[in-house]
Amino acid sequence: MADESDDVPVTGKVREKLVESKQAWAREGRLLTGQTYPLGGTATRERLPPGQTLVTDWPVLDLGVQPDVAPDRWRLRLEGLVQAPLRLTLDEFMALPQAELVNDIHCVTQWSRYDNRWQGVSARHLVELARPKEEARFVSFTSYDGYTTNVPLADFARDEVLLAHSWEGRPLTRQHGGPVRVVIPHLYFWKSPKWVTRIELLRDDRPGFWEVRGYHNYGDPWLEERYG
Ligand SMILES: Nc1nc2c(c(=O)[nH]1)N[C@H]1C(S)=C(S)[C@@H](COP(=O)(O)O)O[C@H]1N2
Ligand SMILES: [Mo]
């Protein structure tokens, strides 16, 4: 059973310099190429979105705080405008139907990484279990490092969205968001929260950590929606 410790530790040690310089880049429009693929990536022969560079390693990006969430303390809540709020332990989460997906990652800082193989639980399955109320339109995520981000509910419920616990057959490492992170491959990777603990369904949109610091509210890499 889940306990009552639903407090999300507040980020006391965020690397302010890093946050400030990313915010300044957003203000200046750095990294923008001016090319876009208006028909979307799948309508073209392109696999690499505009302005991106392919990497084969896997960079680590976060606010400089990597929470160490003990598996028995981890909780996932799906709540807000739902008829059946979920509050899951890691064992309960791992007992749900499992999915495996392979997809490409596109980070707003211009690296892309192809063919990432994830194992986890389908976001749509979780949404169906929680039964959204009719007025639910947006999703707000909160993580154990205090990070937040937001997407439309329709985007979260897409086929290829996963709550991943493993990568390439091994448990997701702490630096990449273990025990569980969200993977939303059709948007820039800042929309994929690591160390996720709360998923809230909302009537109105609620911009997250980077969205209120100059990043685009939606973040389609094919339209180069880096900054908003
Ligand atoms: N909880 C949390 N999730 C986060 C972040 C963060 O700071 N905290 N950073 C985002 C950003 S900007 C990116 S690019 C990716 C990086 O994921 P990675 O370190 O696994 O490559 O995580 C995203 N999810
Ligand atoms: Mo990022």
Give the position, in ligand 1's atom list, of the atom nearest the Cα of 143.
Answer: 1
pLDDT of residue 15: 83
Does 67 sit behind a cis peptide bond, omega within 30 degrees of 0 on the bond before it? no
- Is the CB of 174 within 6 Å of ligand 1? no
pLDDT of residue 34: 77
The SS3 call for residue 43 is helix
State the chain's mean pLDDT as an integer.
Answer: 92
Q: Which ligand minimizes its atom distance to the CA of 58?
A: 1
> Which of 180, 176, 209 has the alpha carbon at shortest distance from 75?
180
Give the position, in ligand 1's atom list, of the atom nearest the Cα of 176.
Answer: 20
> Is it the case that residue 10 has pLDDT exceeding 60?
no
The pLDDT tens digits for 95-142 are 999 999 999 999 999 999 999 999 999 999 999 999 999 999 999 999
Q: Per-residue pLDDT averaged across 40-55, rounded?
A: 79
H or E stretch at 197: strand 196-202
pLDDT of residue 45: 57
Instruction: Please tell me the pTM assigned to this model.
Output: 0.89
Would you place residue 31 in the very low, low, confident or very high pLDDT band (cuts 50, 70, 90)? confident
Q: Which fold has domain 13-223?
A: Sulfite Oxidase; Chain A, domain 2 (3.90.420)
Residue nearest to atom 12 of ligand 1 (CA): 190
Q: How many CB atoms are located within 10 Å of the residue 187 CB?
A: 21
Strand 196-202 versus strand 138-143 pairing type = antiparallel
Q: Name the residue type at position 141.
A: F
Give the position, in ligand 1's atom list, of the atom nearest the Cα of 195.
Answer: 1
The pLDDT tens digits for 155-165 are 999 999 999 99
Would you place residue 2 in the very low, low, confident or very high pLDDT band (cuts 50, 70, 90)? very low
pLDDT of residue 36: 66
pLDDT of residue 9: 57
- Is the CB of 93 within 6 Å of ligand 1? no
